Chains A and B, each alone.
Chain A
């Protein structure tokens, strides 16, 4: 037939291929996508994140069949799923465990990127899509947490929505706009339901597709931070240090999936509440708009950022203000900005230093909480180290990374605890370290003696 495309496949697949790039897509993303052969343990978490997304969407669809997004009936309908729907308890525990495991997997995945410089040129967009996925995931988790309509659901949503009321001038009206009422109510529950089950998941799936397309365009990084596309190639032009994703890494990832599912099933069947960390005890009490539970804290995956929110007290803004002033002076005399930026950037920092004392500490707490996530978007341009991978960085860099990880866990722990002066000081030190780690990265990341980077990836056959 005239105009029909010539393809190599025959039969039904040939018929499809003449009309749709089925084989071409399969080859581009799986059977002829060459990934570095030296992937290690840390490279399981990307495919595991995809697996958890599938688990969450599947279990979510079945939960929606029985759940009622109505302030009068939401709490009961969740108990109905747990007690009366056959297998409902299992689906619900898979969904609630999946939410926490999503963050476990994604935090590991991000840490991997941090270790091996996977955000560096040319993978900036892969990283940016990834941080956007992380933001969506936080939104998804937050909206979903209101749905059981327990005490933690209610007061957690109350606190987070009130964060927006800290924004000067428009804040209080914005908070009413988000709730659709003067308090968290049925209207709030309904819209959060809409965001949780359709709006955010659609964006999330689109971003995951963009993340993968961008990754496959530039190729995967690896633990050595060496570009395999610039290394030696075979006579077909395929990188010698690469292996086809399918079957090598698809089969390899099945090992990771098996290990992950063992842990996942163990939690679902033996400890779905995880001692109050995955499902908080106060959420087994129906929402009461007149009484806040004696101790409220977000779920564990938000607590590091929540700690930084709590750390920002009126006293602490003096410290931050001083830091901004020092930064302005340092940038003016030592900075690398060209032309007018040499003046503009320090002036902006001085303005921030002044505003830190003018506006409420409450507002800056919100800025700290949001800013510590948003700062991740800029990581590709903050890191100036001559090597990508932590393997070839000076040893004291590894110490900084280790402290960063410990600091993040400590901030997370502090966020789960009731406020106290000692813990508050801890979270303030932790917040300073977190901010300094990223904001001073342009300086420290280029200091020290770097080790020579090999021309090809380091790989020992088993």
Chain B
């Protein structure tokens, strides 16, 4: 007797308590569940895909042109590129000397770790020209924007051999004036150097270089 056979007893209980398994019914139950599952997953795809950045958000990353000729020596300006702060620092001679002092103190002095430094910035100064430093002012740890501490010496909890740089308020990572992270700090990488190139000596464009067209 299988499940396909109708059973009628004497009383109201028309279904016997122990039915042997019916292989063909099992097969169709499994098939229906599998196909239903595939359909369910396929339906989820358009819903999940709405989480990805919209066409508008993807189009918003236009390059930014900046006039850098009038930044005073030792000062910094901040511009917005793709919603992120980009710092442009006109470093003084003393500040550049300070970078050499920091070489043994930073985690990756020559920026060898991939992903955050274009080839033209893989040097001690992390820039195309030593005096002008361009970087994205977002900590590589968890994305806070570090604050500038250009004064040398240990003020505000900074070490006494501080040569000027940045302190992230969130988790205490410190960076020197080339955006290089000091050893044993939460941030795993040096600050990101965005693609940029010189239009003239006094004008740069951020978001464009030899490998990244606008």
Residue numbers of A with Cβ under 8 A of B are 155, 158-159, 161-163, 165-166, 176-183, 185, 187, 191, 289-296, 310, 313-315, 360-362, 365, 418-420, 424
CB closest residue in chain A, given B173: A419
Q: Which residues of B contact A291 (CB under 8 A)?
A: 85, 145
Q: How far apart are the CA atoms of A166 and B142 in the complex, in Å?
A: 8
Q: How far apart are the CA atoms of A301 and B84 in the complex, in Å?
A: 29
Q: How many of chain B's residues touch chain A, expressed as a range?
A: 20 to 34
Q: How far apart are the CA atoms of A420 and B146 in the complex, in Å?
A: 16
Determine if A419 and B172 form an interchain contact, defined as CB atoms under 8 angstroms apart: yes
> Chain B nearest CB: distance from A372 CB in Å?
17
Q: How far apart are the CA atoms of A176 and B57 in the complex, in Å?
A: 11
Q: Which residues of A contact B53 (CB under 8 A)?
A: 176, 179-182, 187
Q: How far apart are the CA atoms of A80 and B169 in the complex, in Å?
A: 31
Determine if A292 and B170 form an interchain contact, defined as CB atoms under 8 angstroms apart: yes
Determine if A290 and B78 form an interchain contact, defined as CB atoms under 8 angstroms apart: yes
Q: Which residues of A contact B186 (CB under 8 A)?
A: 310, 313, 361-362, 365
Q: How far apart are the CA atoms of A362 and B143 in the complex, in Å?
A: 12
Q: List 9 A-B contacts (CB under 8 A).
A: A161-B143, A179-B53, A181-B57, A182-B84, A289-B83, A290-B80, A294-B169, A315-B184, A362-B187
Q: Give the contacting residue for A360; candidates B147, B168, B169, B188; CB below 8 A.
A: B188
Q: Give the contacting residue for B143; candidates A158, A181, A314; CB below 8 A.
A: A158
Q: Which residues of B contact A315 (CB under 8 A)?
A: 184
Determine if A177 and B52 form an interchain contact, defined as CB atoms under 8 angstroms apart: yes
Determine if A191 and B188 form an interchain contact, defined as CB atoms under 8 angstroms apart: no
Interface contacts beyond A159-B143, A292-B169, A294-B147: sample of 12 additional A-B pairs, CB < 8 Å, sorted by A:
A158-B142, A158-B143, A180-B51, A180-B52, A181-B83, A182-B84, A290-B137, A292-B168, A296-B169, A310-B172, A362-B187, A419-B171
Q: Which residues of B contact A361 (CB under 8 A)?
A: 186, 188
Q: How far apart are the CA atoms of A179 and B57 in the complex, in Å?
A: 11
Given known pairs A155-B144, A362-B186, the reply for A187 and B57 (CB within 8 Å) is: yes
Determine if B52 and A293 form an interchain contact, defined as CB atoms under 8 angstroms apart: no
Q: Which of B65-109 contact A (CB under 8 A)?
A: 78, 80, 82-85
Q: How far apart are the CA atoms of A410 and B60 in the complex, in Å?
A: 44
Q: Give the contacting residue for A177; candidates B51, B137, B143; CB below 8 A.
A: B51
CB closest residue in chain B, given A173: B52
Q: How far apart are the CA atoms of A182 and B170 in the complex, in Å?
A: 20
Q: Which residues of B contact A166 (CB under 8 A)?
A: 142
Q: Which residues of B contact A294 (CB under 8 A)?
A: 147, 169
Q: Give the contacting residue for B184; candidates A185, A290, A314; CB below 8 A.
A: A314
Q: How far apart are the CA atoms of A362 and B184 in the complex, in Å?
A: 11
Q: Which of B113-162 contact A (CB under 8 A)?
A: 137, 141-147, 157
Q: Which 6 pairs, one residue from A and one from B, show the smallest C-beta to C-beta distance?
A: A419-B172, A183-B83, A162-B143, A292-B145, A290-B85, A162-B142
Q: Give the contacting residue for B142; candidates A163, A181, A182; CB below 8 A.
A: A163
Q: Which residues of B contact A183 (CB under 8 A)?
A: 82-84
Q: Which residues of A contact B4 (CB under 8 A)?
A: none
Q: How far apart are the CA atoms of A313 and B52 in the complex, in Å?
A: 32
CB closest residue in chain B, given A177: B51
Q: Which residues of A contact B171 (CB under 8 A)?
A: 310, 419
In the complex, B5 has a CB within 8 A of chain A: no
Given known pairs A159-B142, A176-B53, A292-B144, the reply for A362 and B188 (CB within 8 Å) is: yes
Determine if A182 and B51 form an interchain contact, defined as CB atoms under 8 angstroms apart: no
Given known pairs A162-B143, A291-B85, the reply for A420 and B157 (CB within 8 Å) is: yes
Q: Give the contacting residue for A180; candidates B57, B80, B143, B146; CB below 8 A.
A: B57
Determine if A159 and B172 form an interchain contact, defined as CB atoms under 8 angstroms apart: no
Q: Give the contacting residue for A296; candidates B80, B137, B141, B144; CB below 8 A.
A: B144
In the complex, B61 has a CB within 8 A of chain A: yes
Q: Which residues of B contact A290 (CB under 8 A)?
A: 78, 80, 84-85, 137, 145
Q: Give the contacting residue for A418; candidates B78, B137, B169, B187; CB below 8 A.
A: B169
Determine if B84 and A292 form an interchain contact, defined as CB atoms under 8 angstroms apart: no
> Chain B nearest CB: distance from A362 CB in Å?
5
In the complex, B54 has a CB within 8 A of chain A: yes
Q: Which residues of B contact A179 (CB under 8 A)?
A: 53
CB closest residue in chain A, given B157: A420
Q: How far apart are the CA atoms of A180 and B58 in the complex, in Å?
A: 10
